[in-house]
Structure 1
């Protein structure tokens, strides 16, 4: 009797045909369509914010490059001034 539980048993199913009511079909279509993300106002607003951030980042990078260039010019002029000062002595 105990060994009977170790066997796998299969149940036969009787399939007559699709038993889908029109209400079920409408519900299923609506359920599927509700799960599809559409272009919502929140989604478009997040895209606008992303564009603003990207533009701000590009602007900040340009300003940083400009500051680096100015810093290099300043260091070069300081070296030149030091060199002229030492050569006068």
Structure 2
């Protein structure tokens, strides 16, 4: 009977250690995820502020080409 109690205590101790290890891994994964979310938000903000995420419409492209041509004439 005492041997069974001792074995059960050992099993409990092993399970506690495994749970603690899993908690550490989970906390690290959550921290990494939070870091990735922050980096993603910063990246999206940078893209938005620089205008890289926008696509020009066809008429906007035409207007830009015309403006470039006009500026080139002025320079020559």
Question: When the two structures are aligned, how many residues end up with a matched partner?
Answer: 51
Larger RCO (alpha carbons 8 Å, 6+ apart): 2
> What is the TM-score when the length of structure 2 is the normalising length?
0.64
| Root mean square deviation, CA, Å | 1.0
Runs ≥4 residues deviating over 2 A = none
More helix by share: 2
The one-character-per-residue Cα deviations of 1:2-41 (angstroms, maximum 9, x if unpaired) are: xxxxxxxxxxxxxxxxxxxxxxxxxxxxxxxxxxxxx611
Q: Where does the alignment leave 5 or more consecutive residues of structure 1 unmatched?
A: 1-38
User: Which protein shows a greater Rg?
Assistant: 1
> What is the TM-score when the length of structure 1 is the normalising length?
0.55
